[in-house]
Structure 1
């Protein structure tokens, strides 16, 4: 028995991903994650932004939402908005936590990205208070051919902050931020990241079928990796969401896939898709390094539970050519 205990201890020491991979599949949609001290916090789409906490990345406790009520600026831009806030992103920089979030009308590009800051993520701290800085980016039907949702903050090797975002329409965008991370740098600098072919006859107010969204940037070695989600989410058992990737030696692109096809021309190499037996579809990922290992965090539609959206965490490794590989289910 003593030898068995020693063996198990050695395995867990050498392979912490074993414990990590057993995270409970709690309800989640568009999950992003961060660690403060010994606590992991996960932010997801939900009323006022759903928040979960965990000390072991396995068992999760639901916390109070970020926003108790809808901000006045949101009601001004989206009259009748009820508080179901989409696709947050959380980052720590220069002593503050920055939370980017989306408010939108479903299926329309009447959308805004807002940003809030906090000194701490611990709700018990006297410093815990979210300060909403309001609108950062906005898209308007019949004016813009892009959609201001699914934000992701990335700070490059030159300490320049960038915000990637987008869903459907003509694809994913990248815009440079000011050093304060709550405003756009002027004069504005914009780049196109990825796109799929769209029916040009459709009016600007219609999403169409060029399904690509949820950009997430991650630097590994000399490459910037752009993870995106393609095809359709939010349809339960009928969803066919999947995660694709391209890479570039510059944060602004161009991003190409394994076959050197630009993501701006519909390219993208498959990272992970539904396996039908467990998950009908998976997507809207984020990527992190915890304890010296890389992980991909995303949601999946549970094939054994009527397509309900749930949290999935998998270790991310890299093949000989430097492309991401996700551990098996």
Structure 2
């Protein structure tokens, strides 16, 4: 049994299995997520503080199309199976893309389902997440990386019903600089004056009142942060209206919302945004006025 504070993990994603009374915690679990890809692990717990594992959820075969940068697995139950959306850097052109894996059970093992990433082959794309529209048709919402376009974008593309491929061209939903709370990304290698903006980790949520919200991450100077956007039309294609201030700004992000076993809405993110110090934290949130408010102190 491990305490959550002892688990190095980025991009946490929780599946709640009410019938079992269990939580399944996925995420970027390689010790060095910037290097060789080992796979994805899953942790299992009855609360959000103590976890059994790690258990291997995905390990690539030698013929797998990626060998570095295994990032941000998200798991969804869909048509009787479990599908993992995860980002990998391709061997053939070294570009990032989000692919789909499949398993008969939540914990895996997951195996390749799509023929490589389903995001555009000539883009650096990451952090794909699943959205079902009002007709039950699947979409992937993902980030077109700032390294390609300077002002990072969140895009959406329709998927085939079996989740194996994209249909048509992606639609740009918004660019990072459109949100009032973001600033240009700054690092040892990137100057703020270069005006490069990051988009990261989108996650879709439909409120009890029917509003379509998106969590997504970016930067405030050198600090990782997460904000909210709302679709004015209620549809994935927007237009998207951004909250004035971030939901969390203390060097944490790439989050998702879930309902705990005791029916409390929770936000999980990783913080700090530094390897190997990153850990999952769980914060109580509530729906108010068609959006989310953070109940825990920042």
The TM-score bracket by the shorter chain reads: 0.7 to 0.9
Q: Deviations over 1:291-319 (max 9, x none)?
A: 4332111101189xx98101111111123
Name the structure where strand makes up a greater proportion of residues. Answer: 2
Q: How does 1:226-241 map to 2 (within 5 A)?
A: 226-231=214-219, 240-241=223-224
| Residue 190 (structure 2) aligns with | none
Instruction: Return the offset for 1:192.
Output: 1.3
- Structure 2 gaps of 5+ residues are 31-37, 178-183, 186-193
**1:160 aligns to 2:137 (yes or no):** yes
Q: 2-side partners of 1:257 and 1:283: how far apart?
A: 16
| Residue 273 (structure 1) aligns with | 249
**1:286 aligns to 2:286 (yes or no):** no
Q: 1-side partners of 2:82 and 2:170: how far apart?
A: 24
Q: How does 1:168-179 map to 2 (within 5 A)?
A: 168=146, 169=149, 170-179=152-161
**1:195 aligns to 2:175 (yes or no):** yes
Quick check: 2:84–2:110 contact (8 Å CA) kept in 1? no
Instruction: Return the offset for 1:139.
Output: 4.5
| Residue 69 (structure 1) aligns with | 60
Q: Closer, same or farther in 2 for the Cα pair 1:302/1:181, shift >3 Å?
A: closer
Q: 2-side partners of 1:269 and 1:194: how far apart?
A: 17
Q: TM-score with structure 2 length normalisation?
A: 0.77
Q: Closer, same or farther in 2 for the Cα pair 1:29/1:38, shift >3 Å?
A: same
Q: Deviations over 1:30-66 (max 9, x none)?
A: 0111023322111111230132111222201222332
| Residue 292 (structure 2) aligns with | 324
**1:314 aligns to 2:283 (yes or no):** yes
Q: Which runs of 4 or more aligned residues in structure 1 lie more than 3 Å from their structure 2 counterparts after TM superposition?
A: none
Q: Closer, same or farther in 2 for the Cα pair 1:104/1:64, shift >3 Å?
A: same
Q: 1-side partners of 2:23 and 2:61: how far apart?
A: 26
Name the structure where helix makes up a greater proportion of residues. Answer: 1
Q: Closer, same or farther in 2 for the Cα pair 1:131/1:317, shift >3 Å?
A: same
RMSD: 2.9
Q: 1-side partners of 2:55 and 2:64: how far apart?
A: 22
Q: 2-side partners of 1:307 and 1:100: how far apart?
A: 23
- Which of 213, 216, 232 in structure 1 is aligned with 2:203? 216
**1:298 aligns to 2:293 (yes or no):** no
- Structure 1 gaps of 5+ residues are 1-22, 76-80, 123-127, 200-206, 233-237, 259-267, 275-280
**1:28 aligns to 2:9 (yes or no):** yes
Q: 2-side partners of 1:50 and 1:172: how far apart?
A: 27
Q: 1-side partners of 2:59 and 2:111: how far apart?
A: 12
Q: 2-side partners of 1:92 and 1:301: how far apart?
A: 30
Total equivalences in the alignment: 258
Q: 1-side partners of 2:230 and 2:165: how far apart?
A: 27
Q: TM-score with structure 1 length normalisation?
A: 0.70
Q: 2-side partners of 1:302 and 1:231: how far apart?
A: 11
| Residue 131 (structure 1) aligns with | 111
